[in-house]
Amino acid sequence: MALITLRQLLDHAAENNYGVPAFNINNMEQGLSIMRAAQACEAPVILQASRGARSYAGDVMLRHMVVALAEMFPRNHLVMHQDHGNNDATCLSAIRHGFTSVMMDGSLLEDMKTPASYDYNVEITRRVTMAAHAVGASVEGELGILGSLETGEAAEEDGSGAVGKLSQDQLLTDPDQALDFVARTKCDALAIACGTSHGAYKFSRKPDGDILSMETIRQIHNKLPNTHLVMHGSSSVPQELQDLINAHGGAMPQTYGVPVNEIERGILMGVRKVNIDTDCRMAMTGQFRKIANDMPNEFDPRKFMIPAMQELEDLCRDRFERFGTAGQTHKIKPVSMDEMAKRYASGALDPNIATTKVA
Ligand code: G3H
Ligand code: 13P
Ligand code: ZN
């Protein structure tokens, strides 16, 4: 069994200075494509399911899919992670269904629209972390709210995303508060806000430091050099995929994502988990549109899926290689969740926040 926890994987990534892409999955085709890429470049992998994915595919289907993928790709250690859990029930039911890691996103209230108070965030993240650690599962918390520094607005993804105008204070994680948050919640990884947002429409121009604040990441890493940072909204929204979609009947307005070289810079500054969904969607959709256009008499879904899966596999391979994840899987000796639970109980895995790096 190649299922491991997020904490184990990110500890290894930090020790060896690499980042790990976390790809969202909703169906078998995405799961197979990502795992084929991981196998081809010997990478450990994080698969994550949103609440939307869980209701789309169903928990039973997702659970069996992950078990099947772990069996089919035994050399590729894999983490199964809940993306943007909104309350205790979402996170704990994910663990019950075999997820080895959860995100408790307390930056927003349960409705995933209303910005939450700091105290609310600390309390719910601390509570979920205590319960998850008791069974060895890992927890990612979020501090700061994802959204655009250009517009002060969050993108809406299937009904989730802050409503209303957000202030710069809300859109950029405060390093001192991050220190306090990790100490009080004991979460294993921290999602931060630095100007990225979900979906394709992140930036109206190629981002510079005014709208994508890598400086925020640097400051947080200086305060918390031993905390695994998570960058959400990390799709690069490749121009060639926008062009391919638009050349075959799509109507995506020109947009800009997070350049991959900025993510590589983030990895040097403590970013260990890099969330990517939109790029994967665009990779498949570009091929669906192309086949539909080029072969209007085609109606076998596999004829659409096969090139779409290849395009997704190629994209994932590129990210594994650029983030330094390639070649790492065989270096990891899996630790069971029971063993992780014992280590948490002994205090051995408490966040080490004692040191502050010299800038
Ligand atoms: O959190 C954002 C991911 O892209 C998940 O999106 O809720 O539409 O599955 P989703
Ligand atoms: P993108 O929309 O940039 O792919 O971000 C996905 C994400 O952060 C999932 O949690
Ligand atoms: Zn996200």
Q: How far apart are CA 333 and CA 331, in angstroms?
A: 7
Q: Ligand 2 pocket check: which of 102, 277, 315, 316 to mutate, most ligand atoms within 8 Å of Cβ? A: 277
Alpha carbon of 157 to ligand 2 centroid (Å): 9
Candidates 11, 59, 83, 279; catalytic one: 83
- Which amino acid, 196? T
Q: 3-state SS of the chain: helix, strand, coil percent to 5? A: 45, 15, 40
Cα 180 off chain centre by: 23
Taking the CA of 199 as reference, the closest ligand is: 2
Per the CB < 8 A criterion, the answer to whether 270 and 221 are in contact is yes
Tens digit of each residue's pLDDT (9 = 90 or more) over 55-108: 999 999 999 999 999 999 999 999 999 999 999 999 999 999 999 999 999 999
**Residue 332: CA atoms inside 13 Å, Cβ hemisphere, count?**
33
Alpha carbon of 297 to ligand 3 centroid (Å): 38
Q: Ligand 1 pocket check: which of 83, 84, 142 to mutate, most ligand atoms within 8 Å of Cβ? A: 83
Taking the CA of 196 as reference, the closest ligand is: 2
Alpha carbon of 212 to ligand 3 centroid (Å): 16
Indicate which residue's Cα is closest to atom 1 of ligand 2. Answer: 233
Q: Ligand 2 pocket check: which of 105, 112, 234 to mutate, most ligand atoms within 8 Å of Cβ? A: 234
**Ligand 1 atom at minimum distance from 56 CA:** 9
Q: How far apart are CA 177 and CA 27, in angstroms?
A: 38
- Per DSSP, the three-state class of 345 is helix
Alpha carbon of 284 to ligand 1 centroid (Å): 16
- Per DSSP, the three-state class of 229 is strand
With a 6 Å cutoff on the Cβ, whether 231 touches ligand 2 is no
pLDDT (tens, 9 = 90+) of the chain, 359 residues, equals: 589 999 999 999 999 999 999 999 999 999 999 999 999 999 999 999 999 999 999 999 999 999 999 999 999 999 999 999 999 999 999 999 999 999 999 999 999 999 999 999 999 999 999 999 999 999 999 999 999 999 999 876 656 788 889 999 999 999 999 999 999 999 999 999 999 999 999 999 999 999 999 999 999 999 999 999 999 999 999 999 999 999 999 999 999 999 999 999 999 999 999 999 999 999 999 999 999 999 999 999 999 999 999 999 999 999 999 999 999 999 999 999 999 999 999 999 998 875 554 44
Cα 171 off chain centre by: 18
Q: Which residues, at least 6 apart from 212, have a Cβ–Cβ distance to it below 8 Å?
A: 149, 194, 195, 196, 203, 258, 262
Q: What pLDDT was estimated at residue 158?
A: 55
Closest CA to 1 of 62, 77, 79: 77
Taking the CA of 51 as reference, the closest ligand is: 1
Q: How far apart are CA 14 and CA 220, in angstroms?
A: 15
> What are the DSSP E strand ranges found in the chain?
20-24, 45-49, 78-85, 101-104, 138-143, 189-192, 228-231, 271-276
Q: How far apart are CA 37 and CA 31, in angstroms?
A: 10
This prediction's pTM: 0.97
Closest CA to 34 of 73, 61, 5: 73
> What are the DSSP E strand ranges found in 86-203?
101-104, 138-143, 189-192
Residues, CB-to-ion distance under 5 Å, ligand 3? 232, 275
With a 6 Å cutoff on the Cβ, whether 86 touches ligand 2 is no
Q: Which residues, at least 6 apart from 2, have a Cβ–Cβ distance to it below 8 Å?
A: 70, 73, 74, 75, 76, 77, 78, 334
Q: How far apart are CA 193 and CA 153, in angstroms?
A: 13
Tens digit of each residue's pLDDT (9 = 90 or more) over 175-214: 999 999 999 999 999 999 999 999 999 999 999 999 999 9
- Which amino acid, 50? S
Alpha carbon of 119 to ligand 2 centroid (Å): 26
With a 6 Å cutoff on the Cβ, whether 233 touches ligand 2 is yes
DSSP codes joined into one string, 261-322: HHHHHHHHTTEEEEEE-HHHHHHHHHHHHHHHHH-TT---HHHHHHHHHHHHHHHHHHHHHH
Alpha carbon of 295 to ligand 2 centroid (Å): 31
What Cα–Cα distance (Å) separates residue 295 from each residue in 270, 289, 291, 307? 46, 10, 5, 13
Pocket of ligand 1 from Cβ distances under 6 Å: 24, 50, 52-53, 83-84, 157-158, 198, 277
With a 6 Å cutoff on the Cβ, whether 328 touches ligand 2 is no
Q: How far apart are CA 270 and CA 268, in angstroms?
A: 6
Q: Please say if 83 is a catalytic residue.
A: yes
